[in-house]
Amino acid sequence: MNANNKGVHEVWASRWTFILAATGSAVGLGNIWKFPYITGENGGGAFVLVYLACILLIGIPVMISEVVMGKWGRSSPVHTMHKLVDEVGAPKFWHGIGWLGVIAGVIILSYYSVIAGWALHYFGQAISGNLQGIDGAGANLLFENLLAKPGMLVFYHSLFMLMTMAVVIAGVTRGLGRAVSVLMPVLLVLLVVLLIFSIRLGDFPAAFAYMFAFDFSALTGESILVAMGHAFFTLSIGMGAIMVYGAYMPEHAPIGKTVLTVAAMDTGVALLAGLAIFPLVFASADIEPATGPGLLFVSLPIAFGNIPAGLLFGMLFFLLVTLAAWSSSISLIEPAISWLVETGKGTRLQGGLVFGLLTWLLGLGTVFSFNLFSGPVIGNFNFFELADFLTSSVMLPLGGLLMALFVGWLMNKTILRSELDMDRDRVFYLWYNCLRWVSPLLVLWVFLEGLADILGIRWLSLIELLT
């Protein structure tokens, strides 16, 4: 670590606390419902192989670079980028990497909190027994009634934001550290319990075949693009969360091994979630497995409501979803809080109140996107769709691309070798060359695809030429 970068923040109690925190940031709603259904839609095991390749070629190299930047700067993403830019003498527009992450995190949390509120609602419905014997029409009506009531959505949005800010305000060790040390083990235990339940009462062979059959005929150019995008976003790259978590990393913790552990745990959770969900889906008639959000909030309530002991395990499942969302949400606003504390303009409490209120207000746009103001705001996007697309398809890929270019082409190799502490030159140069060439090209590819989509441009991408 640079001797001048002592930092004003606390440090994680151990390397494993960082691993749990980073995994908590990565594991969220996308792991619970998105990864399973996109796997089934895109060739099963063939898609998993492509996804793992993308994790290795994009996710891990860029994530390592983001942790390196945070650990060297020992500051918020904003101040870390100021220090790094001054250190290497780069143009000041590179400061934008820090601000891009802070802004993206706040926007993502604003709508993430609303969706997580749905899980809170369904947790209550499972406890109250309202899912007992529910059929397709009843499940659809339950979900539609929830979306049609802005007051109820605001209540759950507010409750989830209070849960998130309570942890963030408590600080790095007493708040974030303790929370992830409890949330992640509980989440993993619940997932294993649900997996055992699904194996015993669901159609596990059908689910396994659905997720892991090597159907290369179903693997299209679009499938590979989906795999790249999900590999990039699932590790929370480009939103400043991993950089600020890296700033709290213990001094001698090995970055490479730590990031590999996080990536393995994140991927493992996604696979376990699919194996826990799909046996229940296949055991219930007339449930379509590849239904996106409906799989979580419409199809699964039918499964839980009509399987022995389903209500108990339905309660545990929606508790699992809530915990996964909670562990992710606390990382989204941490870059903004850490920046305010560093400036001396406020405490964590004051920062939590200010940014928490700002995020809550922004989230009202998502709440009303499902009822009062469901029409398009820009183009064909309503407020929620616009916020989701701007962050996931524009801001995060751009942030990841800029970080790969900055670390790979502008940072001093001596700094990188010192922070990474890699014993073998071959490993270092494998990562270094992947970061300089392979990762930026692939991330740029995803970014340009996103821009083409939002601008309504149809272009022949490289992936279509290859397939």
C-beta atoms surrounding 99 within 10 Å: 16
Residue 454, pLDDT score: 57
Residue 294, pLDDT score: 67
Long-range contact pairs involving 180-186 (C-beta distance under 8 Å, separation at least 24): 180/17, 180/20, 180/21, 180/23, 180/24, 180/327, 180/330, 181/17, 181/20, 183/24, 183/323, 183/326, 183/327, 184/20, 184/23, 184/24, 184/27, 184/327, 185/20, 186/323
Look at residues 285, 283, 280 and name the one whose alpha carbon lies nearest to residue 136: 285
Rounded to an integer, what distance in angstroms lies between the CA atom of residue 22 and that of residue 112?
17
Residue 64, pLDDT score: 96
Residue 434, pLDDT score: 94
Residue 94, pLDDT score: 97
Residue 1, pLDDT score: 46
In tens digits, the chain (467 residues) has pLDDT values of 454 555 556 788 788 888 888 888 888 877 887 788 788 778 788 888 889 888 999 999 999 999 999 999 999 999 999 999 999 999 999 999 999 999 999 999 999 999 999 999 999 999 999 988 888 788 889 999 999 999 999 999 999 999 999 999 988 677 777 787 888 888 888 888 889 988 988 889 988 888 888 878 877 767 777 787 788 778 888 889 999 999 998 888 889 989 999 999 999 998 998 898 888 888 876 667 766 666 788 878 887 888 788 888 889 889 888 988 898 898 899 999 999 999 988 899 999 999 999 999 999 999 999 999 888 988 888 999 899 888 887 888 889 899 999 999 999 888 898 888 776 788 899 999 999 999 999 888 877 766 676 566 665 554 454 44
- The ranges assigned to domains in the chain are 15-466
- Residue 203 sits at φ, ψ, to 5 deg, of -100, 80
Rounded to an integer, what distance in angstroms lies between the CA atom of residue 319 and that of residue 310?
14
Domain 15-466 falls under CATH 1.20.1740: yes
- Residue 317 sits at φ, ψ, to 5 deg, of -65, -50
Look at residues 168, 334, 330 and name the one whose alpha carbon lies nearest to residue 240: 334
